[in-house]
Amino acid sequence: MNKPKKVAILTAGGLAPCLNSAIGSLIERYTEIDPSIEIICYRSGYKGLLLGDFYTVTPEIREKAGLLHRFGGSVIGNSRVKLTNIKDCIKRGLVQEGQDPQKVAADQLVKDGVDILHTIGGDDTNTAAADLAAFLASNNYGLTVIGLPKTVDNDVFPIKQSLGAWTAAEQGAKYFWNVVAENNSNPRMLIVHEVMGRSCGWLTAATAVEYRKLLDRAEWLPELGLGRDTYEVHGVFIPEMAIDLAAEAARLRKVMDEVDCVNIFVSEGAGVEAIVAEMQAKGQEVPRDAFGHVKLDAVNPGKWFGEQFAQMIGAEKTLIQKSGYFARASAANVEDIRLIKSCADLAVECAFKRESGVIGHDDDQGFILRAIEFPRIKGGKPFNIDSPWFDKTLAEIGQTKGAKVETSH
């Protein structure tokens, strides 16, 4: 064992319902083992690391670190900074012309006296951490980087379950429970529930399952129009499954005629290729972020699906609702906190061993919880549409499963 003298924590990328809990769990575990180990938290992710901007974790903070489990978001702040995107780092004023952001980050860690860097983020965060870890190793900096996998999409290879995804599904279901009652406001209402998931439909499918559990627990009064059929999920559309728009429209039109409303769940990444092709054909610019990803809020897949279906199913009104920000900014639920704490405990153990990697249950090694080697970490892990629970959901709502589609990240 090689006790670290100083530990740094940062969170990066989009929010997920695990960030504050992960920060709190790391602080609690280090304090339990040895409160003399110094802890700092870089503000706004890699931005704070490049600028040397951080919080110092004081004894008072350690004493109240458990409070973080009650709150969503990240108290130390996030940002989308890719250390290998030199032009973007210069443009944002994070480094100067001629500087290598990885070297700036590495030198800042040395300047701050950091032995261990904990990164909490999704695939972009952890691939950035992998690049940084490789840079540190190849240049003999003697620092260890240990990642925790955060993403509501649950799409990181080879990790079975990413932190925060369970909570996001639960919260998305709660969100739609209120939204669905809007079908009372207008005859022949189409409600599109857009769920986060760039290239992975896991969250959309899981949210539909969690929502239908709420329906299972509810009592109904169909004699006065309060029937489950008007609250039901009538369609689930995800990137990994082909969509026959005409056939689905015909099926959903029958639903509309029978129950006077249609409710569909759509992944924000579903149909993106078709939308981008339409934009490019019209000569429109496709907005992208620093990682080269299409900005999904700009292309608006939920609106596109609403427009495709509305006329075909005879909807008089279409309502597009997005649960993403509601779900991803939630505090972690009990199930996620249990997972977060187990991952944080192992992360601290790995810090004493100077073992780099991303903590998670390894799909390729019997789902053992371990420090997974950085080179094996990548995003874009597709949802398995042949999962029995997904087959069961489609069968129960009367939707024919489409062919499997290869997704790109």
| Tens-digit pLDDT profile for residues 395-404 | 999 999 999 9
Best CA proximity match to 201, nearest among 105, 266, 274: 266
For residue 303, the model assigns a pLDDT of 87
Task: Count other Cβ atoms within 10 Å, centred on residue 387.
Answer: 13
Domain boundaries, the chain: 6-162+332-376, 166-328+385-397
For residue 236, the model assigns a pLDDT of 97
Q: What angle do CA 93, 143, 94 make, to 5 degrees?
A: 0
d(CA 261, CA 6) in angstroms, rounded, equals 58
d(CA 367, CA 360) in angstroms, rounded, equals 8
The CATH number given to 6-162+332-376 is: 3.40.50.450
For residue 82, the model assigns a pLDDT of 87
| Residue 197 marked as a ligand binder | yes
For residue 360, the model assigns a pLDDT of 97
What six digits make up the tokens of 150?
Answer: 């955060």
| Residue 334 marked as a ligand binder | no
- Percent helix, strand and coil across the chain, each to the nearest 5: 45, 15, 35
| Residue 406 marked as a ligand binder | no
Q: Which of 115, 131, 153, 362 is catalytic?
A: 153
Can you tell me whether residue 63 is helix, strand or coil?
A: helix
Q: Concatenate the DSSP letters of all residues of 231-292 into one string.
A: HS--EEE-TTB---HHHHHHHHHHHHHHHSEEEEEEETTTTHHHHHHHHHHTT----B-TTS
Q: How far apart are the first and last CA of the chain?
A: 39
Element (H, E) at 241: none
| Residue 153 marked as a ligand binder | yes
Residue ranges of the chain with pLDDT lower than 50? none
Q: Do domains 6-162+332-376 and 166-328+385-397 have the same CATH topology?
A: yes
| Residue 43 marked as a ligand binder | no
| Residue 14 marked as a ligand binder | yes
Does residue 153 carry a catalytic annotation? yes
For residue 137, the model assigns a pLDDT of 87
Contacts of 147 (CB under 8 A, 6+ apart): 118, 119, 120, 121, 125, 126, 129, 357, 358, 359, 374, 377
Q: Which residue has the tokens 């602080």?
A: 27
What six digits make up the tokens of 216?
Answer: 């299972």
Q: Tell me if the domain spanning 166-328+385-397 has CATH number 3.40.50.460.
A: yes
| Residue 196 marked as a ligand binder | yes
| Residue 151 marked as a ligand binder | yes
